[in-house]
Amino acid sequence: MIRSNLIGRITATGVLLLAFLPLTLFTCGTSQKIAFVQAPNIVLNPNDAAPLTCYVDFGTTVDYEKATFRISGNGRDLEWTYTPAEKKESGYLLTLMRPKEEYAISIGVTDKNGKETTFPTKLIFKTPTLPESDAEFPKIEVTVPSTVTDQEQLTLINPRRRVVRNAPGENEFNKSFGMLAITNQRGEVLWYYQTNSRISDFDLLPNGNISYMTQDSRLVEIDLAGNVQNHWYAAHRPEGPMEGAIPVDALTFHHDAALLPNGNRLILSSEVRQIPNYYTSEKDSDAIRQKQSVMGDVILEFTPGGKVVHRWHVFDHLPVERIGYETFSRYWERRGFPGVIDWSHANAVVPIAGEDAYLVNFRYQSAMVKVNKKQEAIEWIFAEPSGWGEALQDKLLQIPEDGWNWHQHSPRYTASGNLLFFNNNNYQARPFEEPAALTESPSYVVEYQIDEANRKAERVWSSLLPDEDPIISIAMGRVAELAGSGHVLACFGAILSTEHLDEMNWSNRARFPQWTMVREYKQTTPTEIVWEMKLLPRTEVSSVGWTLFGAERVKFKNLY
């Protein structure tokens, strides 16, 4: 039998505090005994940026192989397993618990022979509520329930709050708030983290940490307790130095970064060049030209210590005279570069497995470009064919005209080597052609088979549903193949509200509300929606809307 001299009490916060009295636990049927010199106790996370977390700490005189924490609350059970080497200063981190619930936590330790001893008393932890302000958290609603599996599916998202363009304090309100959150397929929030700068790219890293990029040109790696593990910033950013972070010789960090197998980061940066006799309009081909400060992308690779080891300047490889719609959108002005116009606007950089190459996605060029990293040369261009000039004609892939992509996001390679991406399908034209109407520009996920040898691209799948009203996502978006399932996860970043479509055009669309959703599609023809989750304003009268840069299905090695 198990004996214990445990002494404990429940506090007003719902945390069971245990007196640290020496005790011995005996496992039935064996003479082995494990002595606890410190009884298990709950330690509240001192970092309030990630509130749905806690630590459990205890000490033993006998070594053990692993510690298992079984957590139960209101019909939901989960289990975290750690080795002693994974114990932090405050103890073992527990998370992915729903807000405003009481959880019972049982603790077991397993010896080298595989025998587990369970602590006789469960600890109690009550999670805090979600923020109630409509400016701090969205309404999350599952509108197509998942029937795919009973196993809990976790989705990592980055809710971005938004008030309409030209609202008082709009730019500061939007950019000064960043959030990451994890939900399950029922739309229940299980973890969230809040910071003071809008987040674009994010990734769950192999070590279980999360990497994210901020609007103020920082790349941050945190653990699930919200503690910063690594931190870099663009040394020449408008905001100046960042205390405690590693500077990288760059003007900006923006949109996307990737962890490479060698531990370095591949990241999007930029530079300003003075271009003489440049455009002043994207609508009038006869408008006066003048010298302009133009922002172009730079692709960087840097070491963990911040040393740049690769730099690829887009100005030196693509024609600067080839512009797209939104060149004059003031994107860089809102980020601290007054008078600077936007040219190439990359939004993704994708290392290509098994090759010394990467893919760069250029939104305003409506182009995806494969770059041979060693030769620093373009291998091919996936884009509508106009305006590239003679020097790049042999780099263009042949794409059916009805498959041209416009202002796309998030190219990914599938397990079969196909190219999957989110086609925002904005404008469907380049300056100075007349753009298509908003209502004729549906956004969707699309997959292509690339024949590099013959320079051809063939469309093999699309998420477009023949009878669905157009979903118009005018910015952002992300896609991911869900390995082994035959499904694709799609994030529709910023969707235009249908109730205002008759008032909107491409020029004024930012002055109207936007919303966002995540869908899981079955890769059949026609496709099938097997799960859908929407992020909406907290109340019907709220002026705060929500968008997403992306969504990613995630798994944690210590969980279950």
The residues, ordered by sequence, that sit 6+ positions from 422 with a Cβ below 8 Å of its Cβ are: 408, 409, 410, 443, 444, 445, 473, 477, 478, 479, 490, 491, 492, 493
Supply the pTM of this predicted model.
0.94
- Which pLDDT band, with edges at 50, 70 and 90, does 11 fall under? very low
pLDDT at 33 (0 to 100) = 66
Q: What is the pLDDT of residues 165-175, one digit of tens each?
A: 999 999 999 99
Q: Lowest-confidence range among 141-150, 368-377, 483-492? A: 141-150
Tell me the mean pLDDT in the region 70-82: 96
Domains of the chain, by residue range, sit at: 8-126, 139-554
Q: Is the pLDDT of residue 10 over 90?
A: no
- CATH hierarchy code of domain 8-126: 2.60.40.10
pLDDT at 12 (0 to 100) = 33
* Residues paired with 160 in a beta bridge: 547
- Which pLDDT band, with edges at 50, 70 and 90, does 31 fall under? very low
Helix, coil or strand: residue 205 = coil
* Rg of the chain (C-alpha set): 26
Q: What is the pLDDT of residues 352-370, one digit of tens each?
A: 999 999 999 999 999 999 9
* Residues paired with 393 in a beta bridge: none
- Which pLDDT band, with edges at 50, 70 and 90, does 151 fall under? confident
pLDDT at 36 (0 to 100) = 72
What is the Cα 421 distance to its own chain's centre?
Answer: 15
**33-42, 70-79, 109-118 — which one is most confidently predicted on average?**
70-79
pLDDT at 22 (0 to 100) = 45
The Cα 7–Cα 158 span in angstroms is 42
Tell me the mean pLDDT in the region 28-41: 68
Q: Which helix (H) or strand (E) holds 175?
A: helix 170-175
Q: Is the pLDDT of residue 381 over 90?
A: yes
The Cα 44–Cα 473 span in angstroms is 40
pLDDT at 560 (0 to 100) = 84
More confident residue, 33 or 391: 391
Tell me the mean pLDDT in the region 90-113: 96
pLDDT at 32 (0 to 100) = 56
- Rounded to 5 degrees, what are φ and ψ at 297? -80, 150
Q: What percentage of the chain has pLDDT greater than the value 90?
A: 89
What average pLDDT is seen over the chain? 93
Cα–Cα separations (whole angstroms), residue 291 to 33, 273, 279, 280, 387: 80, 10, 8, 9, 21
Q: Lowest-confidence range among 8-22, 25-39, 165-179, 527-541? A: 8-22
pLDDT at 401 (0 to 100) = 86
Q: Is the pLDDT of residue 264 over 50?
A: yes
Tell me the mean pLDDT in the region 157-182: 96
The Cα 460–Cα 202 span in angstroms is 28
- Which pLDDT band, with edges at 50, 70 and 90, does 20 fall under? very low
Tell me the mean pLDDT in the region 241-262: 98
Q: Are 313 and 296 in contact (CB under 8 A)?
A: yes
Helix, coil or strand: residue 171 = helix
Q: Is the pLDDT of residue 24 over 70?
A: no
* Spatial CA neighbour of 450 closest among 402, 413, 488: 413
- CATH hierarchy code of domain 139-554: 2.120.10.30
Q: Are 394 and 377 in contact (CB under 8 A)?
A: no
pLDDT at 14 (0 to 100) = 42
pLDDT at 1 (0 to 100) = 28
Q: Is the pLDDT of residue 106 over 90?
A: yes
Q: Which helix (H) or strand (E) holds 173?
A: helix 170-175
Instruction: At 153, list the tokens.
Output: 């599916």
Q: Is the pLDDT of residue 5 over 50?
A: no
The Cα 454–Cα 398 span in angstroms is 9
- Which pLDDT band, with edges at 50, 70 and 90, does 190 fall under? very high
Q: Is the pLDDT of residue 454 over 60?
A: yes
Tell me the mean pLDDT in the region 123-127: 97
Q: Are 419 and 382 in contact (CB under 8 A)?
A: yes
